[in-house]
Amino acid sequence: MSLAEKLQAMEALWDDLSRNPDTLESPAWHEEVLRERQQRIASGEAVFLDWEHAKTDIRRRTS
C-alpha cells in the first residue's frame, strides 16, 4: 500500500468512527492518565509549551 493509499484509508476510518462519537469508549487507562496529568498540573510539576516550541522539541528528540 502506498503512503497516499494508507493516508486515504486512515481518513476513511476516522470519518467513519467520528460519525458516532458517543459509541466510542475510551480505554479505562485513559482516565488514570488524565488524573495523573491533572495532579501534575495542580502541583506545578507540568509545564505547558506553545505549539511552535512543542513541535521544535519533538523534532529535536526524534531526529
Give the HSE-up count for residue 17: Cα atoms under 13 Å, Cβ half-sphere.
9
Q: Return the C-alpha cell found at 7.
A: 493516508
Q: Give the pLDDT confidence of 4-61 residue by residue, as tens digits.
A: 999 999 999 999 999 988 888 889 999 999 999 999 999 999 988 899 999 999 999 9
Residues 40 and 46 sit within 8 Å (Cβ to Cβ): yes
Angle value at C-alpha 43, between 42 and 44, nearest 5 degrees: 95
Please state, in angstroms and rounded to a whole number, the distance separating the CA atoms of residues 35 and 44: 14
pTM for the whole structure: 0.51
> Cell numbers at residue 22, please?
458517543
